[in-house]
Amino acid sequence: MQKLPSGSWRFSATDLIHFLECEHLTALDRTHAEAPLDPVEDDAYAALIQAKGFEHEKAFARTLEEQGESFVDISRMSQNVESRFGATCEAMRAGTHIIYQGTLIEGDFLGHADFLRRVETPSALGPFSYELLDTKLARSPKAKFVIQLGMYCAMLKAIQGISPALMHVILGDGN
């Protein structure tokens, strides 16, 4: 959750999940967005899990990049989310096969898709469109993954004019 200089709010998939799980958590998120607290250092276990999650994502990115199709890494670009969104849309219009860390914005929502993969289904972009792939360290799917990817699908539809036919979760065990 982010309060923009205009006074409006921008929400992430995590914010939506927090809202569905607990109104109090949403209130805490909003309080933190308005007056950020000093960050709390992760404990060793949380830091290890986070590192393993990043390793899993990076390994999958290397696998896709090594397949030889066009690949762009949006995370290496500007830190400005509007610039990243513009770069993501540009890569989509160009028909890039794999877009890593694509930024999606629709209305008050912002998301960073692990991977957008080109599929040969016609859309407003041309004779192709995109589906979502998301890496998760978990060994089984969870409802919150579907909520996150469903939100990203709606955001993707706003860009390409059609909803993705499929969304994919690549679990920590490779399934």
> Where in the chain are the domains?
1-40, 43-170
Burial class (CB in 10 A: 0-12, 13-18, 19+), 7: exposed
Measure the CA–CA gap between 145 and 139, rounded to whole angstroms.
12
Instruction: Report pLDDT for 38.
Output: 81
Per-10-residue mean pLDDT, the chain, length 175: 87 90 89 82 86 92 90 90 95 97 95 97 98 95 93 96 96 90
Measure the CA–CA gap between 109 and 1, rounded to whole angstroms.
9
Q: Do 81 and 105 form a contact (C-beta atoms < 8 A)?
A: yes
